[in-house]
Amino acid sequence: MEKTYEEINEKIRKGKAVVLTAEQVSEMARTMSPKEILNKVDVVTTATFGAMCSSGAILNFGHATPPIRMERIELNGVPVSGGLAAVDTFVGATDCNPQRPDYGGAHIIQELIDGKSVVLEAWAKGTDCYPRTHIKTNVSLETMNEAILSNPRNAYQNYNVAVNSSDRIRYTYMGTLLPNFKNASYSSAGELSPLLNDPECRTIGLGTRIFLAGAQGYVTYNGTQFNTSKPVNKFGVPMGGSRTIAVAGEMREMNSRFLRGAYFEKYGVTMYVGIGVPIPVLDEDMAARVSIRNEQIETYIEDYGDDFKLIGTTNYAALRSGEIEFAGHKIHTAPLSSLARAREIADILKGWIERGEFQLTAPVRPMPANRSIKSLEENL
């Protein structure tokens, strides 16, 4: 038996679709075959709530009288892009003012979503059609035209585990890494993580409707650094960071419970983003994919204290136990992304689908099939 998107959507419209979270289906798979799961389950909800630096917002402020062609723009003192026409900007999550490194674009985006106003200041040379050279005013989501969260790289498929073999503390985007293997941090939601439940992106493509920070958003493209060339383990899971998605959604419909500005000590500003992706159980292959369990999801251990060397492998069941053993060390493990909040997202998305408020979309275009990533060569 196979199912089409249309058949699943018809069940959703009638309120008859069977929807489970990825954790529920993984538990079920201990005693049920993929065939039985295909017969029983229509949609599996997956989710993650983690730090995603490659995020940002497209804002349009509207024109003032007299108008200004904004060339240098600051929001609450944080310089943001002046390179988009006259009154558009892109606020990058990691944008910040070096004078105040713990506050940046991500905090501004969160404040806007919370309904707060921020101070816009812009400068221009003045032209015949845009005579004004300076403006300073308060703006909020209410005063703007568009406010679109637009993230170039989110929801990394798998990610390395970080440890530190050196004798000094390392402050990184993987958190505070204590010397001599005293701790290890990991950032994936494991068996609940979106791209680990559809590892080849059979159902996640351009146009896929998703939960994005509380709103219904969309996958807009393959994310940057999309990589299909990582080794795959015997359960079909790519090892280490592989595929990614670019996403967009309406900021006015978002909720800061699922989007937070954050600062990692001596690293910089980043943004926690909550994403939920529904996976249709189209056939036995998809049923097997969504059944993946933490002990089957393996990843590399990377030494941030020694040139990011890959020094071993572990799996998410071990990481979640609170301690991994490596080369004679018992290493205390800690997550960076919130499993509790990811579960909350998977449950909300499940509710939307069960109540017929959210239908599935077949990809308008699939994700790329053969991609590796390049490094930056210095050639001058």
Partner 1 sequence: MEKRIVLNFPPESTQKPVIYDIVKKFDVVTNILKANVKGDQGGRMIVELVADAKRIKEAVKYIESCGIEVSTLGSKITWNGDLCTDCGTCTSSCLSGALTIQAPDWKLKFNPDKCVACKLCLKACPLHLFSMDVFG
Give catalytic residue positions.
129
Question: What is the DSSP annotation of 290-352?
Answer: HT--GGG-EEEEEETTTTTEEEEEEEHHHHHTTEEEETTEEEEEEESS-HHHHHHHHHHHHHH
Q: Is 24 in the site for partner 1 (CB under 8 A)?
A: no
Residues in Cβ contact with 167 at an 8 Å cutoff, skipping those fewer than 6 apart:
179, 180
- The dihedrals phi and psi of 175, each to the nearest 5 degrees, come to 90, -170
Which CB, 204 or 348, lies closer to partner 1? 348
C-beta separation of 175 from 28 below 8 A: no
- How many other CB atoms are found less than 10 A from the CB of residue 48? 29
C-beta separation of 211 from 276 below 8 A: yes
- Site size toward partner 1 (CB under 8 A) is 33
Cα end-to-end span (Å), the chain: 59
> For 266, how many CA atoms within 13 A lie in the half-sphere containing its CB?
8
Q: Is 226 in the site for partner 1 (CB under 8 A)?
A: no
Contacting residue, 3, 40, 63, 182, with partner 1 by CB under 8 A = 182
Which CB, 118 or 192, lies closer to partner 1? 192
Q: Are strands 19-21 and 43-51 parallel, antiparallel or unpaired?
A: parallel
Which CB, 21 or 333, lies closer to partner 1? 333
Q: Is 235 in the site for partner 1 (CB under 8 A)?
A: no
Contacting residue, 50, 223, 241, 305, with partner 1 by CB under 8 A = 50
Q: Is 322 left (phi over 0), alpha (psi -120 to 50) or beta?
A: left
Beta bridge partners of 315: 298
Contacting residue, 45, 185, 203, 291, with partner 1 by CB under 8 A = 185
Check the CA dihedral 72-77-79-85 and report its sign: negative
Residue 192 to residue 197: CA distance in whole angstroms: 7
- Provide the minimum distance between the beta carbon of 98 and partner 1 in the complex, in angstroms, as a whole number: 19
Residue 198 to residue 202: CA distance in whole angstroms: 6
Beta bridge partners of 80: 73
Which residues from 153-172 bind partner 1, rule CB under 8 A? 171
Which CB, 89 or 270, lies closer to partner 1? 270
Q: Is 332 in the site for partner 1 (CB under 8 A)?
A: yes
Q: Is 313 in the site for partner 1 (CB under 8 A)?
A: no
Which CB, 51 or 288, lies closer to partner 1? 51
Span interacting with partner 1, options 33-41, 211-219, 221-229, 328-336, rule CB under 8 A: 328-336
Contacting residue, 336, 347, 363, 366, with partner 1 by CB under 8 A = 336
Q: Which of 363, 42, 353, 8 is nearest to 202 (CA)?
A: 363
Q: Is 55 in the site for partner 1 (CB under 8 A)?
A: no
Which CB, 172 or 225, lies closer to partner 1? 172
Q: Is 343 in the site for partner 1 (CB under 8 A)?
A: yes
Contacting residue, 248, 337, 349, 353, with partner 1 by CB under 8 A = 337
Q: Is 102 in the site for partner 1 (CB under 8 A)?
A: yes
Q: Is 60 in the site for partner 1 (CB under 8 A)?
A: no
Span interacting with partner 1, options 48-56, 119-127, 152-160, 224-232, rule CB under 8 A: 48-56
- Provide the minimum distance between the beta carbon of 191 and partner 1 in the complex, in angstroms, as a whole number: 13
- Chain contacts with partner 1 (rule: CB under 8 A): 49-51, 102, 171, 175-178, 182-185, 260, 262-265, 270, 272, 320, 322, 332-341, 343
